[in-house]
């Protein structure tokens, strides 16, 4: 199948459609630093060497650790950087929704400092906080864009209603929802993104546990391409929609190279159809 190699985020910034999610470069349970900071930095540097030009992170990864790693790796000026705000971490590692406008505005400044950038390329509302009026939170992201602190605004973990309400306040450049060949709960959101030229960033792109028929077919297609099931899952995502922007993450150089290589796997029409029909 023929797939576009790039996507224009916000209609302005062209990125390769296979990016990198930096979250796994932190410590266990996404808390604290990794055991080997040098190895983590090497993964970021190697990703750029392999042609990755879109890197996703969040203030909550570490927390703060992941953004600092990106600055210290020296890649910030070489890639399109996406980060997020709207989740806190406590000492037990719980993810706590927090969309207070004052917090979001302050966190934007903190993230700029950690990343070492004057403007954040893509700033995403990480999780909708039910205790904060949605329009107030999104309005803060809109203000930050208008004031030049961020270039583009994105949403994460949203439904169509929330996406449409946000679009009335500010242009939404991307949506980051859970999606994979094994989990297509957000098909309707993906279709909305396609219709409105909004980038769709799938997280958890393979899933876990028993994948049933999908897992069986992934295995068969992987064997035919001398690839891994994970590589085939990434290739399927790239074929599935021209607005799809997978950001597979890893702390392993070998896995990183496998992930990037997945963009070169050409699924046949039959293989794509078999995977698409197996849910």
Three-state DSSP string of 21-41: EHHHHCCHHHECCCCCHHHHH
The H or E element spanning position 207 is none
Question: What is residue 217's predicted lDDT score, i.e. its pLDDT?
Answer: 93
Alpha-carbon span 160 to 206, nearest angstrom: 23
Question: What is residue 208's predicted lDDT score, i.e. its pLDDT?
Answer: 58
Distances (CA, A) of 81 to 16, 49, 124, 250: 13, 16, 11, 17
Domains and CATH numbers, the chain: 6-208+242-249 (3.20.20.100)
Alpha-carbon span 19 to 36, nearest angstrom: 23
Question: What is residue 1's predicted lDDT score, i.e. its pLDDT?
Answer: 60
Mean pLDDT of 83-92: 92
What pairs with residue 177 in β-bridges?
202
Alpha-carbon span 196 to 221, nearest angstrom: 32
Residues present in the chain in total: 279
Is residue 61 flagged as an active site residue?
Answer: yes
Give the CA-trace dihedral at 124, 126, 130, 132, to 10 degrees: -50
Q: Is the pLDDT of residue 108 over 90?
A: yes
pLDDT band at 209 (very low <50, low <70, confident <90, very high): low
Q: What is the mean pLDDT of the chain?
A: 95
Mean pLDDT of 98-112: 97
Asked whether the CA dihedral 216, 221, 225, 229 is positive or negative, the reply is negative
Mean pLDDT of 51-77: 97
Q: Dihedrals φ, ψ of 17, to 5°?
A: -70, -15
Alpha-carbon span 273 to 260, nearest angstrom: 23
Question: What is residue 96's predicted lDDT score, i.e. its pLDDT?
Answer: 96
Q: Is the pLDDT of residue 207 over 80?
A: no
Q: Closest Cα to residue 137, out of 179, 84, 198?
A: 84
Reported as a single tens digit per residue, the pLDDT across 29-58 is 999 999 999 999 999 999 999 999 999 999
Mean pLDDT of 224-228: 97
Question: What is residue 181's predicted lDDT score, i.e. its pLDDT?
Answer: 93
Q: Is the pLDDT of residue 92 over 80?
A: yes
Alpha-carbon span 118 to 164, nearest angstrom: 29
Reported as a single tens digit per residue, the pLDDT across 151-194 is 999 999 999 999 999 999 999 999 999 999 999 999 999 999 99
Q: Is the pLDDT of residue 2 over 80?
A: no
pLDDT band at 204 (very low <50, low <70, confident <90, very high): confident
Give the CA-trace dihedral at 21, 27, 32, 34, to 10 degrees: -90
Structure tokens at 1: 């199948």
Catalytic residue among 61, 123, 230, 272: 61
Reported as a single tens digit per residue, the pLDDT across 114-149 is 999 999 999 999 999 999 999 999 999 999 999 999
Mean pLDDT of 21-29: 95
Reported as a single tens digit per residue, the pLDDT across 237-254 is 999 999 999 999 999 999
Range from 3-7, 56-60, 87-91 carrying the lowest mean pLDDT: 87-91
Question: What is residue 278's predicted lDDT score, i.e. its pLDDT?
Answer: 82
Neighbours of 177 (CB within 10 A): 21
């Amino acid at each position: 199948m023929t797939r576009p190699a790039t996507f224009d985020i916000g209609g302005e910034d062209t990125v390769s459609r296979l990016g990198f999610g930096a979250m796994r470069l932190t410590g266990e349970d996404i808390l604290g630093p990794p055991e080997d900071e040098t190895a983590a930095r090497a993964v970021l540097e190697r990703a750029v060497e392999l042609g990755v030009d879109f890197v996703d992170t969040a203030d909550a990864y570490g927390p703060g650790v992941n953004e600092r790693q990106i600055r210290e790796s020296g890649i910030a000026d070489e890639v399109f950087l996406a980060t997020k705000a709207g989740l806190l971490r406590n000492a037990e590692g719980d993810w706590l929704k927090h969309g207070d406008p004052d917090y979001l505005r302050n966190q934007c400044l903190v993230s700029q400092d950690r990343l070492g950038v004057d403007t954040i390329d893509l700033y995403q509302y990480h999780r909708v906080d039910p205790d904060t009026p949605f329009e107030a939170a999104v309005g803060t992201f809109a203000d930050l864009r208008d004031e030049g602190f961020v270039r583009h605004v994105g949403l994460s973990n949203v439904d169509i209603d929330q996406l449409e309400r946000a679009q009335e306040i500010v242009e939404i450049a991307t949506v980051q929802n859970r999606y994979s060949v094994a989990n297509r709960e957000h098909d309707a959101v993906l279709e909305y993104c396609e219709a409105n030229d909004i980038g769709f960033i799938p997280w958890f792109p393979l899933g876990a546990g028993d994948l049933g028929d999908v897992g069986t077919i992934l295995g068969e297609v992987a064997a035919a391409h001398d690839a891994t099931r994970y590589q085939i899952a990434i290739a399927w995502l790239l074929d599935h929609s021209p607005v799809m922007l997978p950001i597979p993450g890893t702390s392993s150089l070998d896995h990183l190279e496998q992930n990037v290589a997945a963009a070169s796997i050409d699924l046949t029409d039959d293989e794509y159809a078999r995977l698409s029909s197996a849910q």
